[in-house]
Structure 1
Amino acid sequence: MRRLVLASLCIIAGVGALSSQGFAAQPDVDPLTELFGGAPATAPQGAQGRPQAVAIPREIVASPGSYAPGTVVINTSERRLYYVLGNGQAVRYGVGVGRPGFEWAGVRYISSKREWPDWTPPAQMLRRRPDLPRHMEGGINNPLGARAMYLSGTLYRIHGSNEPETIGQAVSSGCIRMTNDDVTDLYDRVKVGTKVVVTR
Structure 2
Amino acid sequence: MRIARAILTFAALTAAVPASAQTYSDLYAREIARQPYYEVQRVPRYAPPRTVYQRRALFDDDDDRGLFSNRRRMQADPYRRQQAVVPGISRAPAAAAPIRRQIPAEFRRQTVSYTGTEAPGTIIINSSQRMLYLVQGDGTAIRYGIGVGREGFGWSGTEKITAKREWPKWYPPAEMLARRPDLPKMMEGGPNNPLGARAMYLGSTLYRIHGSNEPWTIGQAVSSGCFRMTNEDVQDLYDRVPIGATVKVI
TM-score normalised to structure 1 length:
0.71
1:64, 1:82 within 8 Å by CA — same for their partners in 2?
no
Residue 157 of structure 1 aligns with an amino acid whose one-letter code is R
1:144, 1:161 within 8 Å by CA — same for their partners in 2?
yes
1:71, 1:195 within 8 Å by CA — same for their partners in 2?
yes
**CA positional deviation for 1:57:** 1.4
1:52, 1:179 within 8 Å by CA — same for their partners in 2?
no
Q: Does 1:171 align with 2:226?
A: no
Using a 3 Å threshold, how does the CA distance of structure 1 residues 52 and 149 change in structure 2: closer, same or farther?
Answer: farther
Residue 123 of structure 2 aligns with an amino acid whose one-letter code is V
Q: Does 1:152 align with 2:188?
A: no
**CA positional deviation for 1:134:** 2.1
Using a 3 Å threshold, how does the CA distance of structure 1 residues 121 and 91 change in structure 2: closer, same or farther?
Answer: same
**What residue is the counterpart of 2:129 in the other structure?**
78
Residue 158 of structure 2 aligns with an amino acid whose one-letter code is V
Unaligned runs of 5+ in 1: 1-50
**Per-residue deviation, residues 84-119 of structure 1 (Å, max 9, x unmatched):** 111210000000001111111111000000000011
TM-score normalised to structure 2 length:
0.57
**What residue is the counterpart of 1:104 in the other structure?**
155
Higher helix share: 2
Unaligned runs of 5+ in 2: 1-99
Which has the higher Rg, Structure 1 or Structure 2? Answer: 2
**CA positional deviation for 1:71:** 0.4
**Per-residue deviation, residues 120-175 of structure 1 (Å, max 9, x unmatched):** 22333323322111211100000000000000021100000000000000111110
CA distance in 2 between partners of 1:145 and 1:157 (Å): 11
**What residue is the counterpart of 1:114 in the other structure?**
165
1:54, 1:179 within 8 Å by CA — same for their partners in 2?
no
**Percent identity of equivalent pairs:** 65
> How many residues are matched?
149
RMSD between superposed Cα atoms in Å: 1.6
2:101, 2:216 within 8 Å by CA — same for their partners in 1?
no
